A and B are shown apart, each in its own frame.
Chain A
Amino acid sequence: MKTQNINIEKEIATEIQNTFHTAEVNIKRNKRIEVKLRNDLIPPFLSYAKNYLTFNHLAHFSCVDWIEQNEFELVYIIYSYEKGVIVLAKTRIDREKAEFVTTRHLWYQAETYERELHEMFGINFKGNDRLNEFILEDWEGIPPYRRDFDTVKYATDNFYTRPGREDAKDVRENVTKINKEEIPEFAKEYSVRSLK
């Protein structure tokens, strides 16, 4: 039977920290490590994690829109079957000139994730030659997952709204009152949203 190494997260974290001095390594919880890196260090880090630390499974690749800082955050979630640990490699890229390099040479399934991010966020992945139309058809204008895309306005402008739902109210105020909670400060400006 394989013996359980209790300090495996700490060992991996120190190893990553020793190799990549500028990386910000946090142990989020049991078997989960978060690594924040400069964006030019992502390809060497992923290659190192895959080939040396045996993180050979790309579980997910996604993007977070930080419109306030004018940045996109790319999140690679990689997993090691040998160690049983998840590593979240995060990096920030510029939002105006959204460009990054492909990781298709490391994991072939990254191509599909990149196609999705290209379509939904408008990020261009250099080296990926299949960034063509994927899920949306005939889409014009800014990509729909960007936070400056006004979904409600787009939906009311383009699709016919049947009358009868004009009084659709935000129920959060009532729900928070019943549960004696408070709406957080950042969510207050989105709380009143109704059909026009």
Chain B
Amino acid sequence: MIYDKSSGKIVDIIKNYARKHSLWIVAYGTGCGAIELPPTMTSRYDAERFGIRGSATPRQADVLLITGYLAVKTLKRVIRTYEQMQDPKYVIGFGSCTINGGMYWDSYNTVKALDRYLPVDVYINGCMPRPEAVISGFIELQKLIEAGKANGAKKYKENLDWYRENQRKVIKNWKMPDYNW
């Protein structure tokens, strides 16, 4: 096989294969869904056999799990966390609240569609998704990474104005720092 420098294909295959097997999650639970993570991580379901682990800070992590409803107050923190994470980074929307609001569809302080504010790679459906569903969602993400299709971070950079516009619509007192990636 002749290595073509311009395509960088072999490098990408190796890179994606390596990334796929080492997914570190930010230890940050936004809603009630975070309670499903301890059983996912511990011996009963043992997510570590897929290379999924928790990490302490956003700068060391690859995956941001949005586990449940997002209040406007939480959304601020989530956006800041996401923007501090380093490439490669992926977002998983967890539970029906992140998809269409779920049972909080008429709440005064809860955003209803997560992909208006952050680029979501995989959604996990359910209220609550059990650890089996969580692991299945992660395997879906791994497939996307291996195929090179999990490009949420790229999407976020390219359409930053659109995301910022949506974010500013709900966050009234805007005091976010500007990152220049």
Contact = CB atoms under 8 A, between A and B. Distances in A.
A160 B116 contact: yes
Nearest to A195: B105
Given A137-B173, A138-B173, A159 B73 contact: no
A160 B113 contact: yes
B108 A154 contact: yes
B108 A151 contact: yes
B142 interface: no
B109 interface: yes
Interface residues of A, number: 20
Contacts of A64: none
Contacts of B106: 151-152, 155
A162 B93 CA distance: 15
Interface residues of B, number: 22
B34 interface: no
A158 interface: yes
24 contacts: A135-B73, A136-B73, A137-B72, A138-B171, A140-B172, A151-B107, A155-B107, A158-B169, A159-B101, A159-B111, A159-B112, A159-B170, A160-B111, A160-B113, A161-B100, A161-B105, A161-B112, A162-B99, A162-B100, A162-B101, A162-B112, A162-B113, A164-B100, A165-B101
A122 interface: no
Interface string A142-178: 0010000101101100111110110010000000000
A136 B107 CA distance: 13
| Nearest 4 pairs of A and B residues by beta carbon | A138-B173, A138-B172, A162-B100, A144-B108
Nearest to A158: B170
Interface in B19-70: none
Given A137-B72, A138-B173, A165-B105, A159 B110 contact: yes
B166 interface: yes
Given A151-B108, A165-B105, A137 B166 contact: no
Given A137-B73, A137-B173, A160 B112 contact: yes
A165 B116 contact: no
Contact of B166 (A138, A154, A160, A162): A160
Given A154-B108, A161-B105, 4 more contacts: A135-B73, A138-B172, A155-B110, A168-B105
A183 B116 CA distance: 39
Nearest to A153: B106
Nearest to B115: A162
A135 B109 CA distance: 11
Contacts of A195: 105
A155 B173 contact: no
A195 B101 CA distance: 13
Nearest to A140: B172
